[in-house]
Amino acid sequence: MRALVIVLAGLATSASAQGAPPGALSCTGCHALDAEATMPLGAFSAEEISAALADYRDGRRDATIMDRIARGFTPEESQAIAEWIADHADKE
Amino acid sequence: MRLTRRTLVATGGTALALPFLNRAAHAQGRGRVVVVGGGFGGATAARALASLGHEVTLVERQPTYWTCPFSNTVLAGLNPIESIAFGYDGLSAAGVTVVRGEAQGIDTDASQVRLSDGSLPYDRLILAPGIDLRYDALPGYDEAASEVMPHAWKAGAQTELLRRQLEAMEDGGVVAIAVPENPFRCPPGPYERASLIAHYLKSTKPRSKVLILDAKDAFSKRPLFEEAWAALYPGLVEWVPVSMGGKVVGVDPATLTLMTDFAEHQVAVANVIPPQRAGGIADASGVADATGWCPVSPETFESALVPGIHVIGDACLAGAMPKSAFSANAQALVAAQAIDMLLRGETPGAPKLINTCYSLAAPDYAFTVAGVYQPVEGALAEVESAGGTSPVGAPPDVRATEADYARAWYATITGSVFG
């Protein structure tokens, strides 16, 4: 099973604040902007991130905190966040 | 299921440094932004706006910033003070002009920040002044008293002072923590502090005690803290709520005495966290209201009182969002996005923001509160379907996992803000 918390490795530069959908910018409070990380989200597609958020939201995936956060976003908002992260995460 | 313990270290801001687009950029909707205050909010906003190509100047009094997050681990002797100290070289490398100085006032007509030796013109101004401790609110507690009864609510020298007092205390002493009414910086902070001081006392001075004298009858994550105290520090932590006479109404530094309406507590170490308000420049520039805090738009964090000035972090009245480093960081990014759009002639939409707050009760025992926020009728309100605290009664491995995540969060956010 994947780590409960996905640490964003390359979640972009904050230059990508342009066009960030509602909520996406707060992700970087835990998931680094441009740091090394144990579980870079750059490795995940928008579909995978969106599915993870849906599973957290609906309680199908164990979590310490992401369940409480994911419930604050609609499926559409979660999808937009997932796409933005996938677009901006460092793919290296 | 466990995150590895590998420390997350930010690689720095080189990837963020865009060409310093000055006058030419200005013509393309780039602007001059001045940020006053280099804490989590100000540093985040400065960095984000510089990376968007704006001409950003950060005004900060100190060359070193000591974070309040994790300062309680320094008090407990778990980490050295250096571990919570950060400089501003990373911001400079990221294209921010860092000016060491103090904003004396704001000339709103001319859109200029007055410094002691000049002025800085701005198109948009961000005030992130954090808090001022109110030395007029608690009889007996002034700045001189804070050298005897440290608040340690701004980290740095005060943290070191309180640590030295804890180290010098003899076994059997009482450590009092006086907690003010809401609102104040870091609502769960006093109780994390009580926990980690108890952790230190338990192993070194087990006959001692932590006495929390509280001006409130409730506090953030209370069931979780009380569960932790019963499990980890039985008999070591006593909480006295206001309804049981907990509110400190005066202090006497000469005798290390805290007065409530019902009793006088003479203690060995007195940590007095006084009432607070927005940092001084907020009042001087007219963005603070009668409460001492700053009302803002929940979409852009622009002051409700003075156009063109945005207030973020602990200083602002952010509705349901608590005053935390995480909130300040999230608000800074939303404000930066909004300012970028405003400077380009666009209209910012409604944001959503997250707050997450870890509290350590012991090095291997932590829990969280989280919330998601959105504008509702002019204020940030909590999304009701989301948020809440870690469960009461969770097994030790869950508490240990959250403690690992607490450290990962700290490494990540300090790396991305100051690295």
Record: contact B354-A29, CB cut-off 8 A: yes
Looking at B257, B272, B287, the residue that finishes a domain is B272
Percent of chain A with pLDDT over 70: 68
Residue A30 confidence (pLDDT): 85
Claim to verify: residue B282 and residue B337 sit in the same structural domain: yes
Residues 26-65 of A with CB under 8 A from B: 26-39, 62, 64-65
Q: Are strands B209-214 and B174-179 parallel, antiparallel or unpaired?
A: parallel
The model's pLDDT over B152-181, given as tens digits with 9 standing for 90+, comes to 999 999 999 999 999 999 999 999 999 999
Claim to verify: residue B76 and residue B113 sit in the same structural domain: yes
| Interface membership of B419 toward A (CB under 8 Å) | yes
pLDDT (average), residues A28-33:
74
Q: Is residue B360 part of a domain?
A: no
Residue B320 confidence (pLDDT): 97
- Residue A69 CA to residue A66 CA, distance in Å, equals 5
* From A1, A35, A68, residue closest to B10, measured CB to CB: A35
Claim to verify: residue B254 and residue B162 sit in the same structural domain: yes
Q: Is residue B40 part of a domain?
A: yes
- Residue B342 CA to residue B169 CA, distance in Å, equals 55
Looking at B238, B272, B306, the residue that finishes a domain is B272
Q: Is residue B81 part of a domain?
A: yes
- The confidence band for A1, taking pLDDT boundaries of 50, 70 and 90, is very low
Residues in CB range of B244: below 8 A, 6 or more apart: none
pLDDT (average), residues B109-134:
97
The residue among B365, B383, B412, B418 with the most chain A CBs within 10 A of its CB, best to mutate, is: B412
Strand ranges inside B327-385, DSSP E: 353-362, 365-376, 379-382
Residues 355-394 of B with CB under 8 A from A: 356, 368, 370-372, 374, 383, 385-388, 390
* From A35, A64, A77, residue closest to B390, measured CB to CB: A64
Question: How many domains does the structure of chain B reveal?
Answer: 2
- Closest-CA distance, A14 to chain B, in angstroms, reads 5
Question: Do B326 and B318 meet the contact criterion of CB atoms below 8 Å apart?
Answer: no
Claim to verify: residue B57 and residue B114 sit in the same structural domain: yes
Average pLDDT taken over every residue of chain B: 93
DSSP A6: P
Q: Is residue B419 part of a domain?
A: no
- The confidence band for B22, taking pLDDT boundaries of 50, 70 and 90, is very low
Report the chain A residue with the minimal C-alpha distance to residue B19. A15
DSSP B10: B
C-alpha A33: how far from chain center = 12
CATH code (residue B283): 3.50.50.60
* From A20, A39, A65, residue closest to B370, measured CB to CB: A65
Q: To which residue do tokens 């205050």 refer? A: B37
Claim to verify: residue B199 and residue B293 sit in the same structural domain: no
pLDDT (average), residues A56-85:
96
Interface TM-score (ipTM) > 0.95: no
Token pair for B295: 């009302």
- The confidence band for A17, taking pLDDT boundaries of 50, 70 and 90, is confident
* From A29, A30, A71, residue closest to B386, measured CB to CB: A71
- Closest-CA distance, B182 to chain A, in angstroms, reads 24
Residue B16 confidence (pLDDT): 30
DSSP B146: G
Residue B12 confidence (pLDDT): 31
Residue B28 confidence (pLDDT): 66
Claim to verify: residue B197 and residue B253 sit in the same structural domain: yes
For domain A14-88, which CATH number applies: 3.30.750.80, 4.10.1240.10, 1.10.760.10, 2.60.40.10? 1.10.760.10
Question: Do B219 and B241 meet the contact criterion of CB atoms below 8 Å apart?
Answer: no
C-alpha B157: how far from chain center = 16
Higher model confidence: residue B1 or residue B162? Answer: B162
C-alpha closest to that of B88 among B118, B124, B44, B132: B44
- The confidence band for A5, taking pLDDT boundaries of 50, 70 and 90, is very low
Residue A14 confidence (pLDDT): 43
B231 pLDDT more than 50 = yes
Residues 139-198 of B with CB under 8 A from A: none
C-alpha closest to that of B334 among B350, B347, B315: B350
Residue A11 confidence (pLDDT): 44
- Residue B42 CA to residue B329 CA, distance in Å, equals 8
Q: Is residue B179 part of a domain?
A: yes
B24 pLDDT more than 50 = no
Residue B276 confidence (pLDDT): 98
- Residue A64 CA to residue A66 CA, distance in Å, equals 6
A66 pLDDT more than 70 = yes
* From A15, A27, A72, residue closest to B385, measured CB to CB: A72
Residue B371 confidence (pLDDT): 98
Claim to verify: residue B34 and residue B82 sit in the same structural domain: yes
- The confidence band for A4, taking pLDDT boundaries of 50, 70 and 90, is very low
B3 pLDDT more than 60 = no
Task: Kindly list the domain boundaries of chain A, sorted by start residue.
Answer: 14-88
Record: contact B350-A27, CB cut-off 8 A: no
B23 pLDDT more than 80 = no
Alpha-carbon distance values, A59 to A41, A64, A70, B129, B228 (Å): 21, 11, 10, 40, 26
- Residue B34 CA to residue B97 CA, distance in Å, equals 9
- The confidence band for B10, taking pLDDT boundaries of 50, 70 and 90, is very low
pLDDT (average), residues B112-137:
97
- Residue B310 CA to residue B340 CA, distance in Å, equals 12
Residue at B321: amino acid letter:
M
Claim to verify: residue B310 and residue B249 sit in the same structural domain: no
- Closest-CA distance, A20 to chain B, in angstroms, reads 8
Q: Is residue B388 part of a domain?
A: no
Interface A-B: count of C-beta contacts within 8 A: 154
Q: Is residue B364 part of a domain?
A: no
* From A4, A34, A77, residue closest to B10, measured CB to CB: A34
Report the chain A residue with the minimal C-alpha distance to residue B334. A25
> Can you tell me whether residue B201 is helix, strand or coil?
helix
- Residue B95 CA to residue B18 CA, distance in Å, equals 7
- Residue B298 CA to residue A33 CA, distance in Å, equals 24
Claim to verify: residue B261 and residue B145 sit in the same structural domain: yes
The model's pLDDT over B311-327, given as tens digits with 9 standing for 90+, comes to 999 999 999 999 999 99
Edge-to-edge strand ranges of the sheet holding B32-36: B97-100, B55-60, B32-36, B124-127, B309-311
DSSP B149: S
For B189, the domain range is 138-272
- The confidence band for B283, taking pLDDT boundaries of 50, 70 and 90, is very high
For residue B336, which residues of chain A lie inside 8 Å, CB to CB? 14, 17
Looking at B253, B272, B291, the residue that finishes a domain is B272
For residue A77, which residues of chain B lie inside 8 Å, CB to CB? 352
C-alpha closest to that of B419 among B94, B35, B98: B94
Claim to verify: residue B210 and residue B151 sit in the same structural domain: yes
Percent of chain B with pLDDT over 90: 92
B419 pLDDT more than 70 = yes
Stretch (H or E) spanning B385: none
Claim to verify: residue B29 and residue B110 sit in the same structural domain: yes
Long-range Cβ contacts of B76-82 (<8 Å, 24+ apart) = B76/B196, B76/B197, B76/B199, B76/B200, B77/B163, B77/B167, B77/B200, B78/B196, B78/B199, B78/B363, B81/B156, B81/B159, B81/B160, B81/B163
pLDDT (average), residues B27-53:
93
pLDDT (average), residues A46-70:
95
Claim to verify: residue B214 and residue B284 sit in the same structural domain: no
The model's pLDDT over A31-54, given as tens digits with 9 standing for 90+, comes to 864 545 445 677 778 999 999 999
Q: Is residue B298 part of a domain?
A: yes
- Residue B149 CA to residue A43 CA, distance in Å, equals 51
- Closest-CA distance, A59 to chain B, in angstroms, reads 12
| Interface membership of B322 toward A (CB under 8 Å) | no
